[in-house]
Structure 1
């Protein structure tokens, strides 16, 4: 098949939606599909680039004035650019991951040009509010309008997914749309290897957070709880990621007198991130706007106990008394007590870590890819064997992986010199 993924954030952006779309693109190409991605430019100008076997079509973007790194494409340039991408790629199926600008106009173009459309929702209004600096008094109205806007865009899709049952429940509460819960999935092997290779300081356990340092992640609550750990429970706090609250939270750490026990690592390489998961003893996710939390899945794949906010989809991953604890958002004392329990009990950490790994086994990325293949076949109205290339019919053009049932000609392709 030829698949076009449309996103409003893609690597080198660092966030859950970008990481998932990159994994999806690479997973699909590994299965023989030809994958294209439409995404805003990470540095401004349009262009076409290769990320491994994935062709990425960049749409002109501009820096969002209220955020130091967030970039957006503008409607009057994105609309014709996205229509042209769809026209040139001629996909068998379009799979959008966002409804903002690039996702919106790829959706419109796919609908107008008659290409089957699948949509996955990673949207939470709270994340948007943090980037847009929405005033508190406007948030209820903005939330209502945002969900209505999503319905207008995603209402064109033949199938909709979201990462968890809670995410689907929220979608169906806020709109008239229906969808299917389908985990982002994870390939646990590299995280297992990282945990096996790691060394730990038994005297000073490490508590790890990974994610954007933005308001909805509530890392300030983690910092305050960490500062209140009893003196007989020494630990170190590692914060991986960057964002708009970095300087504010660094000042908080200094004001609390714990700068010698807290490390802000910023953005780090994939190799260093694996190592961080491997050597940590406890993972904490205090965020309140997680539709699944890919980083929590990653920590669990490394066999780590988790303390997380009792909010949104995190209870799907964290089962109190089995692989960790949930705390009431804003309750610093409750968070402190859960962290103290795990910091002081290595046998409990080991038991909960094993349970985390068992829970992750239900979130296999291979299973996620299998189900997306089935969904693509359903919206195309063809047997699954046509989508997977297992029909026994030789493909027309071995380099594309597209079976004869979905014929391709050289005229359909993006010219190699323009990639």
Structure 2
């Protein structure tokens, strides 16, 4: 059967994903966009990604395995290590040209800033179906803006307002969790936001048949993510130091996977606390090394306070690892206290140390059961279901129809 003869629900689509961040950037939104593009490509759809260039230079087009990636001329944001700014007039002009050439069935905007804003406006003007996904709380910008708090409050309020104005133009708006959807209703006036998980392929982090992963010589707590202010990785370092003083019998160590603008400050905390022999900073690692790190860890910790879902927590849970997460934003949705791990008060390193000790003090069988409960919770966030839902939205399903399927 030729593609032109296929039923409408089987016809390959042309999808444009408009994102301010995309690999090689390392963050949750970039990972989501890459995985979505890859999954759509594997289903036979034509995928185009529009994102900022990662270095100076004019617009470029790159043919990648998962998509045709259109990189727009960008400029360094001096308050952020890798974030790039695309001037609005350039974004509008370039995206208008791209959409005219590509003629997509749908535009999926991943933000309401710069590229996302231009994509929504151009698609609206061209009467192209638009779906928007929000991965970001406007308050997350505050550490990178050198202004007093009263001015930051105004920026945040205006950003929420713009989110509602822009994303409200499209056919549907999504965000990874119900908690984030409630925040968007309260602050942006978007009261029909669909909570669609970012999705995860749990099998990528499970122990493969015949695979053997040796545990470390000492109990290990793992963190994975950007070394950014809102991740509060220093709280984990101080918790390890506290355990070294109060529970030397546990001999707790930590592994920190990832890199970012807080690396120097974090190294200073490690030195200050005297735990250089207990905390290993591994930087960026390969997918295979990350897989092993999850399986090798005894506990996974996410001390961040700005997580709309936390893909890395889901990845660790897929590896059947108990978790200790900050009781902030969407993280409580991933933890049943005492079942698959524990929550701790954000920023409280003593409480974090106590929760880690609770897990490590468990008999081996009880700790394994906690890991199995983590895995069972993670598999509910199936990537296949996530892509199914977005595919239905792309083909014209209404938010009410999608909500009934959640």
Select which of 314, 325, 329 maps to 1:297: 314
Kindly provide the CA deviation profile for residues 281-338 of structure 1, in whole angstroms up to 9, marking residues without a partner as x.
1100000000000100100011110000101011111111110000111222211100
Spell out the pairing of 1:166-205 with structure 2 (5 A cutoff).
Answer: 166-177=179-190, 178-193=192-207, 196-201=211-216, 203-205=217-219
Q: Distance in 2 between matches of 1:380 and 1:192?
A: 35
1:194 and 1:274 in contact (8 A); partners too: no
Number of matched residues? Answer: 382
Q: Distance in 1 between matches of 2:394 and 2:89?
A: 30
2:134 and 2:174 in contact (8 A); partners too: yes
> Which residue in 1 is equivalent to 2:137?
124
Cα RMSD for the two superposed structures? 1.8
Q: Give TM-score, length-normalised by structure 2.
A: 0.90
1:265, distance to aligned residue in structure 2 (A): 1.1
Q: Distance in 1 between matches of 2:271 and 2:360?
A: 22
Kindly provide the CA deviation profile for residues 98-121 of structure 1, in whole angstroms up to 9, marking residues without a partner as x.
111011101111111110000111
> Which residue in 1 is equivalent to 2:264?
247
Q: Distance in 1 between matches of 2:81 and 2:193?
A: 34
With a CA cutoff of 8 Å and minimum separation of 6, indicate the structure with the bigger relative contact order.
1
1:134, distance to aligned residue in structure 2 (A): 4.6
> Which residue in 1 is equivalent to 2:241?
227
1:133, distance to aligned residue in structure 2 (A): 4.3
1:379, distance to aligned residue in structure 2 (A): 5.3
Could you tell me which runs of 5 or more consecutive residues in structure 1 were left unpaired when the two chains were aligned: 385-419
> Which residue in 2 is equivalent to 1:80?
93
Q: Distance in 2 between matches of 1:81 and 1:261?
A: 50
> Which residue in 2 is equivalent to 1:324?
341
Could you tell me which runs of 5 or more consecutive residues in structure 2 were left unpaired when the two chains were aligned: 1-12
2:222 and 2:300 in contact (8 A); partners too: yes
> Which residue in 2 is equivalent to 1:237?
254
Q: Give TM-score, length-normalised by structure 1.
A: 0.88
Select which of 371, 380, 383 maps to 1:365: 383
Q: Distance in 2 between matches of 1:78 and 1:193?
A: 44
Kindly provide the CA deviation profile for residues 187-213 of structure 1, in whole angstroms up to 9, marking residues without a partner as x.
111200369532113x51111101111
Secondary structure at the aligned position of 1:363 is classed as coil
> Which residue in 1 is equivalent to 2:54?
42
Q: Distance in 2 between matches of 1:135 and 1:215?
A: 17
1:323 and 1:352 in contact (8 A); partners too: yes
